[in-house]
Structure 1
């Protein structure tokens, strides 16, 4: 196996164009597991750790842009106020050691339905920037996931950055597993309130072939939430919201849980996180996932 170590993004793109089968590696928290268990044996690894621009971030005109190599620890420490939902999800990823190495870009590249950051990126209307020697383009998160561990990258493209609108309202993320962290989610859920447009972004993970929006639940909240004179939510509203979130899922039975359990758990997560987010919007004491 060849080990490619570019010193710049342009050099990395040239190497990827020359060897499209080369697998990018930064934190290695997914790739090294596959290599160790002999689930993957690519002709080359493309080490991106020397490219400083991939671990930088900036905020401009209401959007936070961060490089694909920014580790979860820095998302938590440096972006928690502007991207609270992503910070909450990042706290649930692995151990401190994994969070120091793992990256959102790596999570996107793996495209696992159970990836913790995916529902948040969907709920927050994120865009994924990818590049090749042919140029760069931005892909809406809603169009990035194509199937189980399949994404919209062309063979010669690399993920370079993620663009996420800064939060204008409360955001929440929650998942079900045997622990709060260091565990693959049985199912996960994210909600982002957007008071400026009077809508909510709602997305699920680990309950379908890809992470996905729950459009029926989003439409329901658009009709039910009174943004101008926010009142406590009726239990019937939370109940119906949970049912619509569960209806958006198409889970399977596997070693981590049954399809029926996943649907039930998603409904519970949806009710709880909606309550936390709406209470925070109303100005009450904020609850944590």
Structure 2
């Protein structure tokens, strides 16, 4: 197995074009497990750890451009205000050591249905920025990036450069259920984001379908009910019946299976509960954050 180690983004894209059989590796928290268990044997590893451009983030035009090599630990420490949902999810990833090494870009590349970063990215309407030496930059909405179980929309000569995430204009929440309280793969996960600037709601479902997905009907239902009742402006209490109806629609949007971590029925039930609780917590934050413009 060859080991390729570019030091710049242009060099990384050139190597990718020359070696389509190479498997990109960032923190290695997923890839090395697969190699150790002999689940994958690529012709080469393309180590992106020394590509400086991938380890940077910036804010421009109301969006955070989060380099694919920024680890979870930095998301937690540096972006909790701008990207609260992603920071919450990052805190649930593995151990402190994993959070120091693992990256959001690597999570996207693995495209696992249970990836913790995926639900908050979907809820925030994130866009994945990918690059190719031959064709330049391409932008893929996060909702279109996942194409199957551990499959994504990358072409063979492309690498993930960054993810573009709108800065939060309202509260965000993330919840996941696992077989224990820490260092666990999600049995199911859910994220929601309130977008009061456009009176919209975002959602993200994890580990309860072949790919991470949004609950579009639930989003439209809740945003419409909030608008019809004047709640976006009044910031009155969220009716429990509305939160429950939202949770039921989130659960209906899932397509779970039975596996060693949990049953399909449990996944649907847990999503309903998590969605109800998450939107209630987010709305309570919105009600009491009167300094944030709606």
TM-score tier, shorter chain, comes to: over 0.9
CA deviations over 1:55-98 (Å, ceiling 9, x no partner): 00001121100110000000000001100000000000000000
Q: Do 2:26 and 2:48's aligned partners in 1 also have CA atoms closer than 8 Å? A: yes
Aligned position for 1:6: 6
Structure 2 unaligned residues grouped into runs of 5+: none
**Does 2:199 align with 1:194?**
no
Unaligned runs of 5+ in 1: none
Is 1:25 aligned to residue 30 of structure 2? Answer: no
- The answer for the alignment partner of 1:87 in structure 2 is 87
Residue aligning to 1:178: 179
Cα deviation, residue 144, structure 1: 0.2
In structure 1, distance between residues paired with 2:181 and 2:13:
37
* Residue from 266, 270, 275 that aligns with 2:275: 270
- Cα drift, residue 41 of structure 1: 0.3
Query: What does residue 49 of structure 1 align with?
Result: 49
Q: Deviations over 1:99-140 (max 9, x none)?
A: 000000000000000000101100000000000112111100
Q: What is the aligned counterpart of 2:257 among 230, 252, 266?
A: 252
**Matches of 2:248 and 2:50 in 1, distance apart?**
47
Contact kept, 8 Å, 1:148 with 1:209, in 2: the verdict is yes
Q: Which residue number corresponds to residue 215 of structure 1?
A: 216
The SS at the match of 1:262 is: helix
Find out whether 1:144 has 2:145 as its counterpart: yes
State TM-score, norm by structure 2: 0.95
Question: Are residues 1:283 and 2:285 paired?
Answer: no
- C-alpha distance in structure 2 between counterparts of 1:6 and 1:27, whole Å: 15
SS in 2 for 1:180: coil
TM-superposed deviation, 1:180: 3.4
Residue aligning to 1:64: 64
- Contact 1:186–1:257 (Cα < 8 Å) also in 2: yes
What corresponds to 2:159 in structure 1? Answer: 158
TM-aligned CA deviation for residue 181 of structure 1: 2.8
In structure 1, how many angstroms separate the alpha carbons of the residues matched to 2:240 and 2:22? 52
1:179 shift after superposition: 2.8
Which whole-Å deviations, capped at 9, do the CAs of 1:178-199 have from their partners, x for residues lacking one? 2333100000000000000001
- Separation in structure 2 between the aligned mates of residue 6 and residue 166 of structure 1, nearest angstrom: 31
Tell me how many residue pairs correspond in the alignment: 285
SS in 1 for 2:100: helix
Match status 1:102 vs 2:102: yes
1:284 CA drift (Å) = 6.8
Q: Distance in 2 between matches of 1:99 and 1:162?
A: 18
Write the distance in 2 (CA, Å) between the matches of 1:234 and 1:94: 35
Q: Per-residue CA shift, 1:158-214, capped at 9, x if unaligned?
A: 001110000000000000002333100000000000000001101111000000010
Hey, what's the Cα distance between the residues in 2 that align with 1:250 and 1:239?
Answer: 19
2:238 alignment partner, one of 233, 240, 245: 233
Tell me the C-alpha RMSD between the 2 structures.
Answer: 1.0
Residues in 2 aligned to 1:190 and 1:107: alpha-carbon distance in whole angstroms: 16
Q: TM-score, normalised by structure 1?
A: 0.97
Runs of 4+ in 1 over 4 A off after TM superposition: none
Question: What is the aligned partner in structure 1 of residue 248 from structure 2?
Answer: 243
